[in-house]
Structure formats: structure tokens, C-alpha cells
Amino acid sequence: MAILSFIGFTLLVGVIAYLATRKTNEKTSDGYFLGGRSLTAGVVAGSLLLTNLSTEQIVGLNGAAYSEGILVMAWETLAAIAMVITAIFLLPRYLKGGLTTVPQFLETRYDKATKTIASGLFLLGYIVILLPIVLYSGSLAISTMFNIPELLGVSHDTSIWITVWGIGIVGSVYAIFGGLKAVAVSDSINAIGLLTGGLLIPIFGLLYIGDGSIGEGITKLVEHAPDKFNSMGTATASVPFSTIFTGMMLVQLFYWGTNQAIIQRALAAKNLKEGQKGLMLAAFIKILGPLIVVLPGIIAFYIFGADLETPDQAYPMLVNKVLPTVWIGFFAAVLFGAILSSFNSGLNSAVTLFSIDFYKEYIDKNASEVKIIKNGKYFGILLAVFSMLIAPLIAKAPQGLFGYLQEVNGCYSIPILTIIVVGYLTKRVPAIAAKIGILSGCILYIISQFVIKPIVSANAVEKAKAAGILDEDRLAEIATLAYPHYLHVMAILFVTNVAIMLLIGKLYPRSTDFELEYTKQVDITPYKHAAIAGTIISLIVIGIYIYFS
């Protein structure tokens, strides 16, 4: 029954996506890469949310909530403010310039070399980090949920290979042969399913705790673990409260405002008004995100106690414990949709970056749009196969790989955000400043996190041991406090790089002021209620933090 409902819902999404996109002209760059610049607010919002939400986040963030409580909601609630800033400040400029990729602006504002460097960094991030991890974490969840090893009579490793290739092939069909609109439409349908299924987990969890009463379940949960409902993270927490005012907002702004895989949905809006409405709608729904990716982790702590082997077991164990069997297939289907969304969105964006910023620019400048798209699809097939070959091998990697890779992302996220922000806010900062900004940002971050930090932490631990402190937990705390949190480091380097770029701009300014040309690709009349909606969303986020402080 569960497998039939899984197959049925998955096929339904595919049929609707086909019917919705069969008339889209995908022989042009706008048609294939941006869905003909035709996406409406609802589609933009749904695709944004599904691109972001996948098994890696659902399982991982609930695991963090199981360990630390509600303070990890910062990754969700602060995203809403970042989307508001993107809608009001960045999107009008993106659509005015008629961008297909974010790095295209860097060529217009600085030069071709700056664009190539940024595109290369984005592509490297997708190829090495995003796509293989999404495939592996997704296959692990699906294999566990359906018990594929027992079902097919194969080993655990073999089941991972089977599910990786299953997810990869289906996702590739959407991303490579359907273009962005197929991805976005399927995302929107799955968004409805994921919101429904995701909310069922805490509802059934609270009913389980409260013996049939949600209210009683909430009461018991708060009384049992009141410390789990404190939003103010300490200095040793994964998200110290102080980071909310430093690197956390910068990371959120990079992700929601400049990450090609995310912002491409808003770039595909039929006009600025629809794009801004889509971002605002997504921001409002994002505020509810902790109900799906945080609260279940706390419920799991109540039910299973603090003795799980690893925190990431919390969510799948809770699903199997509280979700009625009849819902398992449906929930697996929407979870499968979330996995597909993150994979095919990353793949589609990688194909877009390669086609527009590399193939057209350096391989065949005179290529027709049909040829560009054709060769982009070939690249997408190669990239998909590469990701499917690499993904199962992640299981052999050292423990803690995911957290390590998240920290590694800082090597390029803040430098790229820096040059985009300075590019839009200034008129005379030259191209050489952008190149130095990217290089200094990458190099300084690498030196800070992977050279200086280990040395400082090791020295602090040695001194503590010499002083007679031998408790492992205390030593771990000392090591953590010995060096600034990586989010603080990001903020320090952001300010440093901005200062470097402004200084270069002062000493060696451009000969002419930069003016952003209106390409008239879409109407850029803003949504008249954007400022009011953004203010309300921001006040709600602040209110949530005050309530749980």
C-alpha cells in the first residue's frame, strides 16, 4: 500500500509537470533556463521552498534540534528576513538587468574575468558538494524508509547505489530535458505535499505524547524539556545568539540572494511584481519552517530520550513511531520530491552556468541558442552521471563530513556576496578590486579556519590539560571557545573585504560611473505592498525570538 501510494503521487507530479510545460518554447535561453520568464508568485514561492528543503535539512536540522533545541531555528526564521532583503533590494536590480545568471551582472559591473571566477566557484560548489550530498542523503532516507535491502534482498551499500541512480535519473529527466519550468512546476506541487506531510509528523507526535490531545502534548513537551525552548544559543552552541547579528545574516543573504540554484526561480518571474510577491510568500511560509524541521526533533527527544546513537536518527525514528502506516507512502513520495527538487535544481543551475558563462563565452561564441542548449544538456548528463558515481562513496568518508563541508562553503560564499553588494552600492569601484576581494576572501578564510583555528584550539587544550583539566566535555568546550565561531569569522572578513575594495576604488577608481541599464526583458513595476509585507514578516521573526528568549 505504501509503495503504491508513493508511485501514484510521484507519477501524478510528473504528469502535471509535463502538461504544464509542453507548450513552453525551450529552444531559447529564456525558455529553457528561465521557463520563458513566465513564473507566477505561487510557482516562484513553491520552487524556492522545495529547492531549499531536502532530506539533508529535514533530517539534519531535526537532529540538531534533538541535541540543542529550538535555537537552531535561526537557519529557518532568519531566512525570511534575507528573502525580504532580496525582494526589495536585489531582485529589482537583477530583473532590470535582464539576468539569466547572477555572474552575468559581475561581467557588466566589473569584467569578464570576474564573472568567470564567480561562475567557476559556483559550479565547483555544485559539482563537489551540493549534488553528491543531496543524492547520498536522499538515497539513505528512501532506502531506510522502504527498507530496500530487505525488500530487494541486497546489501545496504547496494541499496544506496540503487536509490542514488533512481533519484539521479528521474531528477536528470526533469532538469535536463524539461528545463526550469518543469523543475519549478513539479516543485510547487511537491511543496504542497511536503508542507502537508511535514506538518503531520509534529501533529501525530504531539497526539502521541498527549494521549490524543495536541494541547496536552505541547504542555508535556515544554514541562519535560524547557531548556529546549530557549532561542538564545550560548557561546558553545552550534548557533550562538550573537552570530545572528554577524555572519548568520550574511550566509542567509548569500544563499537566498546570490546562490544561482535559488535565485534562478525569482529571475524566471514574469515581472518584478510576481517575483516580489513570490519571495514574500516564501518568506512568510519559511517562518513556519521550524514546525517541520525543528519541532519534530524536540518531540523525538521527549519520546526517545538522550540516548540515540546519533542525533540524525531522531527524525526517521519519529516518523516510523508516530506516522500511521497509511501515510508512509505519501510522506515518502513528498520526501522523494524534496530530494529531487534539490538535485534537479542544482543540476539545472549548473547547466545554466556552464551554457551561458562558459560554453557561449569561451567555447563557441557564435553558437545558436539551440546549439547552446543542446551542449548544455550534454554537460548536464555528464554531470549527473558523475554525481551518481560519486554520491555512494560519501558513505566511506570521515565522520562529520557534512558539517565540515558546510564550513568549507564559506570559502566562496562571503567573497561572492561582497563583490555583488559593493557592485550595486558603488559606481567607481574597479574590476581589479573585485578580483582582489574574491581572492583575499577565499585565502583569508582558508588560513583562518584550516590553519590558525586548529593551532589555537590545540594549544588551548594542551594548556587546559597541563592545568589538570581532563574531562573530555570540558576540553571540547575549551577548544570551541578558543577561536571565534566561523560565522563571526565570515562577518569579520566581509567587513575587511568591503574595506579593501572601497580603498582600491578610492585610489584607482573607474574612469566612468557604472549605470545599470534597463534591458526591458520584463516589467519592473514593484509590488506596491512589498515594504509593508516585508516589515510585517521581519516583526514576526523578531517577535518569535522575544517570545522564546
pLDDT, tens digit (0-9, with 9 covering 90-100), for 382-425: 888 888 888 887 766 544 445 556 677 888 889 999 999 999 99
Number of domain units in the chain: 2
Both 321 and 425 in one domain: the answer is no
The three grid cell numbers given for residue 214, joined into one nine-digit string = 495536541
Write out the three cell numbers for 325.
502506516
* Dist. CA 259–CA 257, nearest whole Å: 6
Same domain, 349 and 457: no
How many whole angstroms separate alpha carbon 319 and alpha carbon 325? 10
pLDDT at 528: 92
33 part of a folded domain: no
Name the average pLDDT for the chain. Answer: 82
Domain that holds residue 419: 401-517
Residues 474 and 380 in one domain: no
Query: Is 345:261 a contact under the CB 8 Å cutoff?
Result: yes
- Residue 189: pLDDT band by 50, 70, 90 thresholds? low
Domain assignment present for 109? yes
Spatial distance between the Cα atoms of 486 and 243, rounded to a whole number of angstroms: 9
Alpha-carbon Rg for the chain, nearest whole angstrom, is 23
Cα distance between residue 475 and residue 457, in whole Å: 10
Are 333 and 449 found together in one domain? no
Task: Tell whether 23 is covered by a domain.
Answer: no
pLDDT of residue 540: 95
Considering the domain boundaries, does residue 115 fall inside one?
yes
**How confident is the model at residue 127, as a pLDDT?**
80
pLDDT at 357: 78
Give the phi and the psi of residue 102 in degrees, each rounded to 5: -60, -40
> pLDDT digit string (tens) for 501-533?
999 999 999 999 998 888 888 888 999 999 999
List, for residues 127-151, the tens digit of each pLDDT value. Answer: 877 788 888 878 877 777 777 888 7
Specify whether the CB–CB gap between 326 and 132 falls below 8 A.
no
**Confidence band of 257 (pLDDT split at 50, 70, 90):** very high
pLDDT value for 102: 80
Structure letter (DSSP) for residue 451: I
Same domain for 208 and 61? yes
Question: Which of the two residues, 374 and 288, has the higher pLDDT score?
Answer: 288
**What is the structure's pLDDT at 82?**
95
Average pLDDT over residues 322-328: 81
Q: Are 530 and 279 in contact (CB under 8 A)?
A: no
Q: Which residue has the higher pLDDT, 189 or 325?
A: 325
State the pLDDT confidence band at 167, using cuts at 50, 70 and 90. Answer: confident
Same domain, 294 and 369: yes
d(CA 81, CA 65): 21
Give tens-digit pLDDT for 339-385: 777 777 777 778 777 887 788 888 888 877 778 777 877 888 888 88
As a whole number of angstroms, the distance between CA 390 and CA 400 comes to 18
Lowest mean pLDDT among 9-18, 191-200, 461-470: 9-18
Residue 18: pLDDT over 60:
no
Q: Among the ranges 178-192, 193-207, 360-374, which has the highest mean pLDDT value?
A: 193-207
If one compares 407 and 181, the residue with the highest pLDDT of the two is 407
What's the pLDDT band for 52 if we cut at 50, 70, 90? confident
Clarify whether residues 274 and 382 are in a common domain: yes
Residues 59 and 118 in one domain: yes
Pair 298, 221: CB distance under 8 Å:
yes
Say what the pLDDT of residue 308 is.
Answer: 78
The answer, yes or no, to whether residue 118 has pLDDT greater than 90, is no
Domain-embedded: residue 27: no
Q: Give the model's confidence band at 48: pLDDT under 50 very low, under 70 low, under 90 confident, else very high.
A: confident
Are 447 and 368 in a shared domain? no
Residue 176: what pLDDT? 58
In a domain, 89, yes or no: yes
Question: Do 389 and 461 share a domain, yes or no?
Answer: no
Q: How far apart are CA 520 and CA 524, in angstroms?
A: 8
Mean pLDDT of 50-66: 78
pLDDT of residue 34: 47
Q: With 0-12 CB in 10 A as exposed, 13-18 as middle and 19+ as buried, what is 158?
A: middle
DSSP 3-state percent helix, strand, coil across the chain (nearest 5): 80, 0, 20
User: Do residues 190 and 72 both lie within one domain?
Assistant: yes
**Strands (DSSP E) found in 133-247:** none
More confident position, 313 or 166: 166
Mean pLDDT, range 270-275, rounded to an integer: 91
The mean per-residue pLDDT over the stretch 99-121 comes to: 86
Q: What is the pLDDT of residues 211-222, one digit of tens each?
A: 989 989 999 999
- Dihedral sign, CA of 166, 168, 409, 422? negative
d(CA 179, CA 185): 11
Burial class (CB in 10 A: 0-12, 13-18, 19+), 528: exposed
Whether the per-residue pLDDT at 1 is higher than 70: the answer is no
In angstroms, the CA 295 to CA 200 distance is 12
69 close to 227: Cβ distance less than 8 angstroms: yes
The distance in angstroms from the start CA to the end CA of the chain is 44
User: Is residue 32, in this structure, part of any structural domain at all?
Assistant: no
Q: Is the pLDDT of residue 29 over 80?
A: no
Domain CATH code at residue 285: 1.20.1730.10
Q: Is residue 31 part of a domain?
A: no
Q: What angle do CA 312, 458, 232 make, to 5 degrees?
A: 50
Same domain, 413 and 277: no
Q: Are 541 and 81 in contact (CB under 8 A)?
A: yes
Percent of the chain past pLDDT 70, that is, above it, reads 86
pLDDT at 109: 92
Given this model, what pLDDT does residue 280 score? 95
Calculate the alpha carbon distances from 333 to 44, 136, 145, 196, 339 in Å: 21, 17, 11, 12, 10
Band of residue 321 on the pLDDT scale cut at 50, 70, 90: confident
